[in-house]
């Protein structure tokens, strides 16, 4: 079973703080990793993707990938109440280039 | 860019009814479309993958005769839930992937269809 694990949360952070969201995956051959944000009752929207070890920054978001440890994380700087949502980690498993395996998501709550 | 439109957004119908959900890529050609189902407080579960002009590939445990998928063009895929029952009530979401130049090619999601079977 190829799994993607996330802490369900809620992760509560004050406005302006850094939110750190983590994700581990079981398939060592996974190639690409995606972070999606999903507001309640809505479909996921892509925040960013990463496929090389290290950090990738896009505005207030930084994705970090460590393939040796099989984890990927998302940092949100200067968190805003509008960032409150469920963040889904998704992985392209080995041998399944087309597919995405989603984690259950971490609920983030940014309070003023 | 990369807009995916899904219709209808909400369906309430009686048990035994068949329901068709449409997924359209509005500004790109979707070579591959995906159908997911999401139950409350759970993650997205892939139901099937369809490539334009080919039969859909269903995930293990998904009944292909119950969930009919058609991907006849590069901009349209449909999911028909045949003889729907209350246990089919869920949030159905489609996504599409085109011939993006960036690698890996991300999936772009529709707004989802909330299906309630009475």
DSSP chain B: ---EEEE-SEEEE-TT--EEEEEEESSS-EEEEEEEEE-TTS--EEEEEEETTSPPEEPTT--TTTEEEEEEETTEEEEEETT--GGG-EEEEEEEEE--SSSS---EE---EEEEE-
Sign of CA dihedral A63, B26, B77, B5: positive
pLDDT beneath 70: ranges in chain A: 1-2, 96-97
The per-residue pLDDT string of chain B (118 residues; one tens digit each, 9 = 90 and over) reads 678 999 999 999 999 999 999 999 998 888 889 999 999 888 899 999 998 878 899 999 999 999 999 988 889 999 999 999 999 999 999 999 887 656 667 788 999 999 999 9
CB B113 within 8 A of CB B12: no
Q: So what's the pLDDT on residue A11?
A: 96
Whole-angstrom distance, CA of residue A5 vs CA of residue B83 = 34
Q: So what's the pLDDT on residue A2?
A: 59
User: Contact A42/B42, CB-based, under 8 Å?
Assistant: no
User: Contact A100/B93, CB-based, under 8 Å?
Assistant: no
Distances (CA, A) of B27 to A41, A47, B30, B31, B58: 24, 20, 9, 13, 26
Q: How far does chain A reach from its first CA to its final CA, in angstroms?
A: 40
User: Contact A43/B93, CB-based, under 8 Å?
Assistant: yes
- A46 closest CB neighbour out of B106, B111, B112: B106
Q: So what's the pLDDT on residue B52?
A: 80
Torsion of CA A95, A99, A103, A105, to 10 degrees: 150
User: Contact B110/A42, CB-based, under 8 Å?
Assistant: no
Whole-angstrom distance, CA of residue B23 vs CA of residue B56 = 14
Residues of chain B positioned with their CB less than 8 A from the CB of A34: 106-107
DSSP A28: T
Residues of chain A positioned with their CB less than 8 A from the CB of B108: 46
Q: So what's the pLDDT on residue B40?
A: 85
| Span A71-94, pLDDT tens digits | 999 999 999 999 999 999 999 887
């Amino acid at each position: 079973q190829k799994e993607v694990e996330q802490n369900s949360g809620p992760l509560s952070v004050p406005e302006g703080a850094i939110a750190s969201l983590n994700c581990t995956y079981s398939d060592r051959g996974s190639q690409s990793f995606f972070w999606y944000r999903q507001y309640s009752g809505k479909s996921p929207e892509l925040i960013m993707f990463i496929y090389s070890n290290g950090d990738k920054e896009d505005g207030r978001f930084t994705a970090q990938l460590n393939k040796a440890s099989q984890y990927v994380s998302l940092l949100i700087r200067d968190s805003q109440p509008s960032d409150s949502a469920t963040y889904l980690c998704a992985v392209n498993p080995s041998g399944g280039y087309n597919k995405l395996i989603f984690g259950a998501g971490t609920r983030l709550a940014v309070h003023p | 860019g990369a807009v995916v439109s899904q219709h209808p957004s909400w369906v309430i119908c009686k048990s035994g009814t068949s329901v068709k959900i449409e997924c359209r890529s509005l500004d790109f050609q979707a070579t591959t479309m995906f159908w997911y189902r999401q139950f409350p407080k759970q993650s997205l579960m892939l139901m099937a993958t369809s490539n334009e002009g080919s039969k859909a590939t269903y995930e293990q445990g998904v009944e292909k005769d119950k969930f009919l998928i058609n991907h006849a063009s590069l901009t349209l895929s449909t999911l028909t839930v045949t003889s729907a029952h209350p246990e089919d009530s869920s949030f159905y979401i489609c996504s599409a992937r085109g011939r993006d130049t960036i690698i890996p090619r991300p999936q772009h999601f529709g707004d989802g269809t909330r299906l309630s079977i009475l």
